[in-house]
Amino acid sequence: MYFLKRCLVSFSLILGCVGQLLAFHQGSIKGSVRSANDHLPLTGATVVILETNQGAVTDIFGKYIFDQLEAGQYTIKISYVGYESQQLKVTIKDNESVQLNTQLKASSLMLSEITVSPQKAMGAKQFNTLSSVDILLRPTQSSQDVLRIVPGLFIAQHAGGGKAEQIFLRGFDIDHGTDIHLSVDGLPVNMVSHAHGQGYSDLHFVIPETVEQVHFEKGLYNADKGNFATAGFVAFQTKDVIQNSSVLLEAGQFDTYRLVSMVDLLGEKRRKENLQSAYLATEYMGSAGYFESPQNFTRLNVMAKFHQYLSDDKILTVQASTFTSQWDASGQIPERAVQQGLITRWGAIDDTEGGSTSRTQVSVKLKQTQDNGGIWENQAYFINYNFELYSNFTFFLNDPINGDQIRQKENRNIFGYQTNYYLESALAGKTLQHHLGAGIRRDDVRDNELSRSLGRSTTLSRIALGNVLETNIFAFINETWQFNKSLSANIGVRVDHFDFEYVDALSAGFQRQNQTQNIVSPKLQLNYTLNDRVQFFAKSGLGFHSNDTRVVVAQEGRQILPRALGVDVGVNLKPFPNMYVSLTGWWLDLEQEFVYVGDEGIVEPSGETRRLGVDVSLRYQMTPWLYADVDVNYTQARSQEAPEGENLIPLAPSFTSIGGLTFKTKSGWNGSVRYRFMDDRPANEDNSVVALGYFLLDANLNYTRKKFEISFSAQNLLNQDWNEAQFDTESRLQNEANPISEIHFTPGTPFFAKLGVKLFF
């Protein structure tokens, strides 16, 4: 990496010299923006010179700069979502550099302060206006809420609360993560070549109260996001600092309880004087669940994070966490069993399903400013992950005596490193932002197993057993050129190299198979900002999702990195000061959607597919304390190789909508009423079997004072009978002579209320 660093530094010095030759330097304004609450820099704050309408965005150190300014007086406006804006008068003399240090106070969200802007904070993660607005309006209160912050994203739990949720987005039944890239603080969530399914993504190791930002983009247009980033990406960022220690106790129906503690380890003095912070967060949760067979669900999370400004231009972040969970489950049940009165909606055919999982991780990240103004970021991490799951989808189809229970199990170590380098220069007098990166991820999976089992205790036979060693080495470059105040372009290129290795423990002599593959993914984004109320954008690019290593070696390297091609065209609007609207039309082609079906140990091809869609998001501040939001998404998903009428993609959502009303008062009251709607969708290729849609209402109410907070929340206010997860599955009950294919479902949560009390100290 030393050689790479020297090359990048040399490249940046050349660009800096070119910028000096092409741009005549006059006066300048340099500044920093910090939070008055925790004294830490604010990344992504908008800074505008009102007289010239020249804009800038603060970098990861909270810094900004305006060069080439004529002598005179200027008015600087500084704003940040959720903070009070400030205006400053500055006088500049010839060749003078003025330094400004500003602290912003936290305040209620005001949509009138938000503008549409093409600027991006140098060194910052991808910034989406909606993500910042929504995280303030809808703080995450559960692991499910962590994902539901993304407009148009739906989830379904179908295995006792401990299994990763099924995800739906942009006409994809993403299963557990095949077509969405998920990360937390730069650490990967998607598990390649997982025992249960490719891209399996379990976010239950995230303590919701630690989440500070949720950055997301739909589509495949970001060069720094690689594998699985086809329908989009979601990047979670946890808090670097907490202002108060707290203890939260929640209790609800179905013997549900949750205890969360957030402890500030160093105190405000160290935070203010030394810019040093550390906290410890813990979460314990248990629930019997609403099924007739108790879920016996338990989860324990522990997270520690240390954040230190070693100097004004160097930040060290060290974090470690551990998570463990275990549960029982009733699984999916067939419609006929309920209709015949064999079981109720809350019953089970096989209640011995369930499992356990754990994840322990350590990450060290160092960010520093170089002499040329560039920002260098390095992160190294280690993850240990364990998984064991017992399922029975077909009951007595394959084994009429013992039943069809399967066990999926693995032990995994992940080693990773990524480096990012950011630099801003000038070319032909125009701002040019450079983002270069490279990294490696190595998954070492031991005893990746699929077995037939009985009652969890007996192994009947092994279908697959082996070790997976998968390595992904990547590099990318992003170039953003701000042609003028209105037009900017981003061109990116990503190169990925994969090495797949599988050792089959069931073959003679433990056969070792190996394949390698490279893939190049170009990206292009254009933004045209008409004014501070209208911004047009167009995006296009190539992406991919990898296939399971067992598929790769079985296919002998053919079609192992199926390409995706996508286009987004849209507009961001502020038709009124208190309204924000985003409209997007898009299409996405996938070269191949075959995946390794971990439940059967087989390859299931589905061929080329095409999805066309429209996304609409609206945020409206009706009064200083009342907000409305709505997201509407329509998608047409079709197979390109099947005949008309038989080319539907099973379980692909066609029409979905999420929205609600949120209020926040100065007296401490806040709450919301929210809805979720998913239309009926095909469960098979010809729509002869239908997965039923649903409409649900949820609500929460909180009262917050300086020393305490009381909260109440309720899901499914109307107590609707609805199906959360649904599959067209062929199965056979013990008393049936022949198998039947029909909808198998997991019933969704009935009316569920819980009460919480939080103490601050």
Q: What is the pLDDT of residues 82-137, one digit of tens each?
A: 888 899 999 988 888 899 999 999 887 788 877 776 556 555 554 566 777 888 77
What is the mean predicted confidence (pLDDT) over 587-601?
Answer: 72
Residue 11 has pLDDT above 60, yes or no: no
Residue 693 lies in a domain: yes
CA neighbor of 391 nearest in space, from 190, 182, 173, 197: 197
Residues 240 and 285 in one domain: yes
| Spatial strand order in the sheet of 211-218 | 187-188, 181-184, 232-238, 211-218
Distances (CA, A) of 333 to 63, 282, 313, 726: 56, 35, 57, 9
pLDDT of residue 605: 62
**Cα separation of 418 and 473, whole Å?**
10
pLDDT-derived band at 20 (thresholds 50, 70, 90) equals very low
pLDDT of residue 117: 65
Residue 80 lies in a domain: yes
pLDDT of residue 272: 81
Instruction: Count CA atoms within 13 Å of residue 576 on its CB side.
Output: 7
Pairing of strands 752-760, 708-715: antiparallel
What is the mean predicted confidence (pLDDT) over 13-24?
Answer: 45
Query: Which of 107, 140, 162 finishes a domain?
Result: 107
Q: Which residue has the tokens 């983009």?
A: 217
Q: Which residues contact 480 (CB under 8 A, 6 or more apart)?
A: 120, 432, 433, 435, 488, 489, 490
For residue 373, count other CB atoms closer than 10 A to its CB: 17
Cα-based torsion angle of the residue sequence 229, 234, 235, 238 in order, rounded to the nearest 10 degrees: -160
Residue 606 lies in a domain: yes
pLDDT of residue 209: 93
What is the mean predicted confidence (pLDDT) over 143-158?
Answer: 84
**Cα separation of 260 and 248, whole Å?**
5
pLDDT tens, position by position, 218-271 = 999 999 999 999 999 999 999 999 989 999 999 999 999 999 999 999 988 888
**Cα separation of 746 and 725, whole Å?**
5
Least confident of 99-103, 402-406, 423-427: 423-427
**Cα separation of 352 and 331, whole Å?**
9
Residue 17 lies in a domain: no
Residues 251 and 383 in one domain: yes
Structural domain boundaries, residue 84: 26-107
Residues 33 and 171 in one domain: no
Residues 138 and 44 in one domain: no
pLDDT-derived band at 24 (thresholds 50, 70, 90) equals very low
Residue 464 lies in a domain: yes
What is the mean predicted confidence (pLDDT) over 318-331?
Answer: 96
CA neighbor of 641 nearest in space, from 610, 675, 676, 673: 610
Residues 190 and 86 in one domain: no
CATH number at residue 720: 2.40.170.20
Question: Which secondary structure element, helix H or strand E, spans residue 440, and what is its range?
Answer: strand 430-454
Query: Which of 107, 139, 171 finishes a domain?
Result: 107
For the chain, the domain total comes to 2
Residue 60 lies in a domain: yes
pLDDT of residue 18: 43
**Cα separation of 202 and 190, whole Å?**
8
pLDDT-derived band at 14 (thresholds 50, 70, 90) equals very low
pLDDT of residue 564: 96
Least confident of 131-145, 210-224, 529-543: 131-145
Hey, what are 383's tokens? 């993850």
pLDDT tens, position by position, 45-93 = 889 888 887 888 888 888 898 888 888 899 999 988 888 889 999 998 8
What is the mean predicted confidence (pLDDT) over 433-460?
Answer: 96
Residue 2 has pLDDT above 60, yes or no: no
Q: Which residue has the tokens 């995994």?
A: 412
Per-residue 3-state assignment (H helix, E strand, C coil) for 457-506: CEEEEEEEEEEEEEEEEEEEEEEEEECCCCEEEEEEEEEEEEEEEEEECC
**Cα separation of 140 and 138, whole Å?**
6
pLDDT tens, position by position, 681-701 = 999 999 999 999 999 999 999
Residues 681 and 737 in one domain: yes
Residues 381 and 412 in one domain: yes
What is the mean predicted confidence (pLDDT) over 159-188?
Answer: 91
Q: Which residues pair with 513 in a beta bridge?
A: 502
What does the DSSP 8-state code read for residue 345?
T
pLDDT-derived band at 148 (thresholds 50, 70, 90) equals confident
Residue 8 has pLDDT above 50, yes or no: no
Q: Which amino acid is at 597?
A: V
Give pTM, 2 decimals: 0.91
Residues 168 and 313 in one domain: yes
Residues 93 and 177 in one domain: no
Q: Which residue has the tokens 């998608």?
A: 635
Residues 450 and 514 in one domain: yes
Contact 201, 191 (CB under 8 A): yes
**Cα separation of 425 and 290, whole Å?**
59
Query: Which of 58, 75, 107 finishes a domain?
Result: 107
pLDDT of residue 602: 61
CATH number at residue 81: 2.60.40.1120
pLDDT of residue 124: 54
Residue 711 lies in a domain: yes
Residues 88 and 201 in one domain: no
Tell me the percentage of the chain whose pLDDT exceeds 70.
93
Contact 49, 67 (CB under 8 A): no
What does the DSSP 8-state code read for residue 548?
P
Pairing of strands 602-604, 609-623: unpaired
Residue 269 lies in a domain: yes
Residues 403 and 257 in one domain: yes
